[in-house]
Amino acid sequence: LNMSSSVMNISEHLSCPLGFGHYNAVDICILETVVIVLLTFLIIAGNLTVIFVFHCAPLLHHYTTSYFIQTMAYADLFVGVSCLVPTLSLLHYSTGVHESLTCQVFGYIISVLKSVSMACLACISVDRYLAITKPLSYNQLVTPCRLRICIILIWIYSCLIFLPSFFGWGKPGYHGDIFEWCATSWLTNAYFTGFIVCLLYAPAAFVICFTYFHIFKICRQHTKEINERRARFPSHEVDAAGDTGHSPDRRYAMVLFRITSVFYVLWLPYIIYFLLESSRILENPALSFLTTWLAISNSFCNCVIYSLSNSV
């Protein structure tokens, strides 16, 4: 009974983006609560599993991309921990902080964490590109020290790019719109949105498209040459050379390509709606909620892709 009474009072304290009227506002708030609580649990449990696997499997550290994958896992884990804020709010627990500050900090943190994931995906694609295009000098180009510096720069850049939102220039995203103040008083800005797209979304997407296009082009050309050699000189030496060529790199690149593809499939609706709403072309609370939490669900999807793509 206490839980029911608490849920009945949710609509008085929080914005319910999917509510289309007072009649079903409570039901919609309950649905939102279930979605957010479930995603929070899956994100935290999934990424803790990934971190645990890396900790218990030292052989995985031989891959240079493990630095970026672990960084993504920690960033996604913090996303899940941050989602406890709207979860507790929907369950009618006071955060003890002013609502405007709570949703500003929450929106900023989630945006920074997802920026880290996006930048890591771009760096992973560059790493695989160097591994395939410059195999002989790869170990000299990509060193553990340089990888650590790159990860530090990713975190610094992600923190700085969303910082103007604290000074009244736009809104970093819709992650805080579960709070009424964020939904009604904190408005988006077309210039700030364009700033984020030009300095984060577009460059990351361009780098990923460029590198993976050339990776698969090189691998396809390599496979074609091996098949031609097998046709001309059917010997064990050629077969052995073909089996130890770029095939492992291509398989590994495919796994990372799936992770990247799922990331952009889940984030593309959010980015498109973000652009449309910032330009005052479209404003729909239901779309805001759905696209936001669809994008945040990517923090759990990575864990599933690791498991399905690579048994090791």
Q: Is residue 239 part of a domain?
A: no
Q: Is residue 242 part of a domain?
A: no
Tell me: pLDDT of 175 over 70. no
Tell me: pLDDT of 159 over 90. yes
Exposed / middle / buried, residue 23 (Cβ in 10 Å: 0-12, 13-18, 19+): exposed
What would the two tokens of residue 203 be?
Answer: 């460059």
Q: Do the Cβ atoms of 300 and 39 come closer than 8 Å?
A: yes
Question: 86-134 pLDDT, tens per residue?
Answer: 767 666 555 545 777 877 888 888 889 989 988 998 898 899 889 888 8
Q: Is residue 234 part of a domain?
A: no
Kindly indicate the confidence band of residue 21, based on its pLDDT and cuts at 50, 70 and 90. very low
Q: Do the Cβ atoms of 246 and 219 come closer than 8 Å?
A: yes
Q: Is residue 148 part of a domain?
A: yes
Q: Is residue 6 part of a domain?
A: no
Tell me: pLDDT of 19 over 50. no
What whole-number distance in Å separates Cα of residue 259 and Cα of residue 303? 9
User: What b/e readout covers 72-89, taking b as 16+ CB neighbours within 10 angstroms?
Assistant: bbebbbbbbebbebbbeb
> Average pLDDT over the chain, rounded to whole?
78
Residue span of the structural domain in which 177 resides: 30-229+249-310
- Which distant-in-sequence residues (6+ apart) come within 8 Å of 205 by Cβ? 264
Angle (deg, nearest 10), helices 298-309 and 247-278:
160
Of residues 183 and 290, more confidence is placed in 290
What's the CATH code of the domain at 277? 1.20.1070.10
What would the two tokens of residue 198 be?
Answer: 């030009």
User: What b/e readout covers 254-276, taking b as 16+ CB neighbours within 10 angstroms?
Assistant: bebbebbeebbebbeebbebbbb
Selection from 25, 69, 15 nearest residue 47 by Cα = 69
Mean pLDDT value across residues 56-72: 82
Q: Is residue 2 part of a domain?
A: no
DSSP state of 197: I
End-to-end CA distance of the chain: 48
The DSSP line for 12-78 is HHS--TT--SSTTHHHHHHHHHHHHHHHHHHHHHHHHHHHHHHHH-GGGGGSTHHHHHHHHHHHHHH
Q: Give the distance from CA 107 to its chain's centroid.
A: 15
Mean pLDDT value across residues 1-19: 45
Q: Which helix (H) or strand (E) holds 219?
A: helix 202-232
Q: Is residue 240 part of a domain?
A: no
* Torsion from C-alpha of 115, 300, 294, 3, nearest 10 degrees: -120
**Residue linked to tokens 């030292």:** 58
Tell me: pLDDT of 23 over 60. no
What whole-number distance in Å separates Cα of residue 19 and Cα of residue 36? 16
Q: Quick count: other Cβ atoms within 10 Å of Cβ 224?
A: 10
* pLDDT value, residue 74: 93
Q: Is residue 7 part of a domain?
A: no
Mean pLDDT value across residues 142-161: 93
Domain count, the chain: 1
Cα three-residue angle 189-19-272, rounded to 5 degrees: 35
**Residue linked to tokens 């700085």:** 160
Question: 211-234 pLDDT, tens per residue?
Answer: 888 888 887 887 788 777 877 776
DSSP state of 234: -
What whole-number distance in Å separates Cα of residue 173 and Cα of residue 277? 11
What would the two tokens of residue 263 be?
Answer: 């990331």
Of 50-54, 101-105, 160-164, the one with minimum mean pLDDT is: 101-105
